[in-house]
C-alpha cells in the first residue's frame, strides 16, 4: 500500500462548479438540493465532481457534462440552521447508475434518507449508518462529525454501560 501511495500521483476529479451555458450537446444536471456536491464516475472510470457552493436560482444552479452513463459514487448535502452548518457525506462503490441525456435537464433526486441499524455481538456493540442503497454515511455539524452514543441495559432497564461510538 505504501508503495502504491508513493507511486504516480493520482489524478484529482474534474470540478464543475460554474453554471453551464446553452450547449445542446451537453447533459444539464439539476441536483435537487441547494448546496452540496456530487461525485459521478463516467464510463472511462474518471470521477467528475459537480459543486453547488451557494443557493441560487434554477439557471445558475445548472451544471453540464457530456451525455452518457454515470455512476453516482458520492455526495455531500449542506444545510444551514441558524448559526450552524450541517452536512451529510455519503459514499459507495456505485450508489446508483444515471443515464444523462443531452439537451435536457437531468434531475439527480438524491435520497436524503438516513438509516441507522444496531449490530450486536457477544462482546461488541456496533452500528451502521447508511444513506441511499446502503452507502456509507457520516453526519457533520460545523465541520465535525457528530457523535453517536450507546447504552447497554440489563433486564430491568438499568444502564450497564454507555459511551460514544465511532461510525462512518
Contacts for 33-37 with beta carbons within 8 Å, 24 or more apart? Answer: 33/77, 33/110, 33/112, 34/61, 35/77, 35/78, 35/79, 35/80, 36/75, 36/76, 36/77, 36/78, 36/87, 37/75, 37/76
pLDDT at 24: 78
Q: What integer pLDDT is reported at residue 8 of this predicted model?
A: 60
Q: pTM (2 decimals)?
A: 0.76
| Separation of alpha carbons 13 and 102, rounded Å | 22
pLDDT tens-digit series, residues 26-48: 888 888 888 899 999 999 999 99
Provide the pLDDT confidence category of residue 168 given band limits of 50, 70 and 90: low
Give residue 66's pLDDT band: very low, low, confident or very high (50, 70, 90).
very high
Residues linked to residue 39 through DSSP beta bridges, in sequence order: 49, 74
Q: What residue segments make up the domains of the chain, in order of their start?
A: 2-165
Amino acid at each position: 500500500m505504501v508503495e502504491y501511495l508513493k507511486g504516480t500521483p493520482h489524478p484529482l476529479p474534474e470540478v464543475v462548479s460554474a453554471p453551464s451555458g446553452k450547449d445542446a450537446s451537453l447533459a444539464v444536471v439539476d441536483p435537487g438540493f441547494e448546496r452540496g456536491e456530487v461525485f459521478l464516475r463516467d464510463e472511462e472510470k474518471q470521477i467528475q465532481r459537480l459543486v453547488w457552493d451557494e443557493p441560487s436560482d434554477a439557471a445558475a444552479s445548472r451544471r453540464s457534462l457530456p451525455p452518457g452513463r454515470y455512476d453516482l459514487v458520492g455526495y455531500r448535502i449542506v444545510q444551514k440552521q441558524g448559526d450552524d452548518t450541517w452536512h451529510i457525506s455519503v459514499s459507495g462503490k456505485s450508489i446508483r447508475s444515471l443515464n444523462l441525456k443531452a439537451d435536457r435537464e437531468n434531475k439527480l433526486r438524491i435520497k436524503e434518507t438516513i438509516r441507522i441499524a444496531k449490530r450486536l455481538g457477544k462482546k461488541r456493540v456496533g452500528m451502521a449508518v447508511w444513506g441511499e442503497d446502503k452507502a456509507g454515511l457520516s453526519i457533520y455539524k460545523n465541520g465535525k462529525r457528530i457523535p453517536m452514543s450507546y447504552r447497554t441495559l440489563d433486564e430491568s432497564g438499568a444502564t450497564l454501560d454507555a459511551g460514544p461510538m465511532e461510525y462512518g
